């Protein structure tokens, strides 16, 4: 199944703030995860496990 790509301009949801302004107070190291991508990859891995035993 092909997922639709997100075609919104980069950083559209930052309300006019730059990534630097938004993320400057985060502690480091900090990991930002794309939850939808993680779920997609989980489904793929689940399918691999199911089909290969």
pLDDT at 40 over 90: yes
Q: pTM, whole model, 2 decimals?
A: 0.46
The per-residue pLDDT for 2 is: 62
**Proportion of the chain above pLDDT 70, given as a percent:** 94
* Mean pLDDT score, 34-43: 94
Whether a cis peptide bond, with omega within 30° of 0, leads into 29 is: yes
Q: Is the pLDDT of residue 12 over 80?
A: no
Q: Is the pLDDT of residue 53 over 90?
A: no
Report CA dihedral (31, 19, 12, 38) to the nearest 10 degrees: -10
Burial 25-40 (b: 16+ CB within 10 A, else e): eeeeeeeeeeeeeeee
Phi-psi sector, 17: left (phi>0), alpha (psi -120 to 50), beta: beta
């Amino acid at each position: 199944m092909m997922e639709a790509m997100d075609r919104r301009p980069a950083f559209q949801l930052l309300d006019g703030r730059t990534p630097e302004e938004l993320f400057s107070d985060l502690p480091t190291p900090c990991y930002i995860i794309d939850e939808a991508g993680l779920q997609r990859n989980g489904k793929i891995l689940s399918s691999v496990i199911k089909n290969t035993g």
